[in-house]
Amino acid sequence: MAQTGEMTDPPEAETGGAEADATATDAETTVTVRCTGHVRTELDVYEFEYTFEGDTLRAFLDELFEEYPQLQDMLIAESESDATHSGWAPTPEELPGTWSKNPVGEQTIAYARILVNGHFNENENGFDTKLEEGDRVALVYPFMFCC
């Protein structure tokens, strides 16, 4: 799909059969996308409405990355080492509470994050997080400076 505001032709009416059933169940969702840091610089926009087919973060990202492939390279880690930073403190052998990560290929690179309504997607349902009309998706990749 495209950013809201662009004119598109309405879909042709389908008649009966499995195709009609499939189209009837396909949801179209519009979310507000907010961009920070490198993402904002790359797209040259802070906020925009985006309409996509489906109702999950995965469907949103698939369409967004198809339209803006540079964002996938900027945000999504290809390996576990891309998703982690060495940090300054050693990781304890047993972590408190319940810790979970998105599977490899569904993780953001170190320091980049994808949030849904202010919550890290890892703390929700990962890329299978349901999106509803009007939800906010933040693509966060802050500028990092070091001395």
CA distances from 137 to 16, 65, 119, 121 (A): 35, 14, 9, 10
Ranges of each domain in the chain: 28-85+101-141
- Residues 58 and 27: beta-carbon distance below 8 Å: no
pLDDT reading at 135 higher than 90: yes
pLDDT reading at 30 higher than 50: yes
pLDDT-based confidence at 132, cuts 50/70/90? very high
Per-residue pLDDT tens digits for 71-130: 999 999 888 878 777 666 676 777 666 666 777 778 888 889 999 999 999 888 999 999
pLDDT-based confidence at 146, cuts 50/70/90? low
pLDDT value of position 23: 44
- What is the rounded distance in angstroms from the CA atom of residue 122 to the CA atom of residue 8? 34
pLDDT reading at 11 higher than 50: no
Instruction: Find the helix or strand (DSSP H, E) in which 24 lies.
Output: helix 17-25
pLDDT reading at 22 higher than 50: no
pLDDT reading at 6 higher than 90: no
pLDDT reading at 19 higher than 80: no
Average the pLDDT over 58-79 and give the result. 94
Topology annotation, domain 28-85+101-141: Ubiquitin-like (UB roll) (3.10.20)
Average the pLDDT over 37-42 and give the result. 95
